[in-house]
Each structure stands twice: as structure tokens, then as C-alpha cells.
Amino acid sequence: MARSKSDISNSAIRIFLQRVGEYYDQARGFTKFTPTKGQKAELVDWFARECCFCGTEITAEHFTQDHLVPMNKDSLGLHAWGNVVPACRPCNRDKHRKDWRAFLQTKCEGDLLLSRQRRIEAFIEEKQYEPDLQIADFADNLYSDVGEVAMTLIDLRFKQAQEAIQALLAGKGAA
């Protein structure tokens, strides 16, 4: 539940990035990534039924989706093909907002690191995912606008609630 102006704005950014991701998928000729059961299976199969970070075996029914570029106002990763990868729950939890390359280095080294990094990069390339779409200004404006509009509406409704409470209490005092 949103508790502050920034919580409301962050929720708006995630919705924005999801919608931009849907459009981006369709503009690149892909079905939007939702993920359906078939999309989950495709994703897991692409990564040989393993967590793309640690190699733990996973299935289409039992995996979490991780955004290589995080979906937040700083990173601006999209919920789209090429940015969503299969991860085990511990890796998804531990990676959080970290750069995927830096996080991958905490999970493996040497040839295994290079192999996993190449697999992720090949996935990004196959899906034609470009992480820098020049949408930062739109996201920054949205973040600010949503926060201001939300606070204006909250203040308006709060004032109305205050007036209703005052009227109720004044009515009880007169009785």
C-alpha cells in the first residue's frame, strides 16, 4: 500500500515501464511479454531450464522472472522480451537493483561466468532489447507529475473529510 508521494510515483513509473514494454515488444514484432504459460516455457527453455545467474534447475511453473535492467525510475528497465530472464527465488531476491553483470560475478567465475554472461547477452541480442531508449525525461516528468497530482487530490479529499467530521461533531454538540 502506498504510504507516501514517492510510493505513488514509483507505482506510476512501474505501470509506465510495463506499458512502454508492451509497446516496445509489439514494435519489434513480438507478442507482448505478459508472461503466458507458453512464454514462460520459452524463457525457461532458452536458458536450458536453469536460473540464468546460479544455474539452479528451474521449471516454467517454478521460477521467478528477473528484470536484467531493473524496473525503476533510475534504471528504466522494461517489462519486455530481452529484459526478463528466469531466476531462482534466492537470486531474484538477492539481485534486487544490482547490475546483472556485477551480480553474475558473485554467482560464478571463470569459464562458467563467461558462459552464463554470453548466454544472457545472446538472449538480449536475439530479442533486440536496447536498454537505453531515451525515455528518462518522460519518466522523470511522470514521477513528478503523478506525485503532485496525487497530493493535490489527497489534500482536497482530506479537507472534505475534515469538514464532514467538523459538521458531524458540531451536530452532536448541538443535540
Query: For 61-73, what is the mean pLDDT?
Result: 92
Closest CA to 142 of 8, 9, 5: 9
Length of the chain measured in residues: 175
pLDDT at residue number 63: 85
CB 163 within 8 A of CB 117: no
Distance between CA atoms of residues 74 and 13, nearest Å? 10
Query: For 86-103, what is the mean pLDDT?
Result: 95
Cell numbers given for 174: 448541538
Distance between CA atoms of residues 73 and 159, nearest Å? 31
pLDDT at residue number 2: 55
pLDDT at residue number 7: 87
43 φ, ψ (degrees, to nearest 5): -65, -50
pTM of the model: 0.84
Query: For 16-41, what is the mean pLDDT?
Result: 95
Closest CA to 81 of 133, 131, 117, 37: 131
Residue 174's pLDDT band, with cuts at 50, 70 and 90, is low
Is the pLDDT reported for residue 1 higher than 80?
no
The residue whose grid cell reads 558462459 is 115
DSSP-derived letter for residue 131 is S
Mean predicted lDDT score pLDDT of the chain: 93
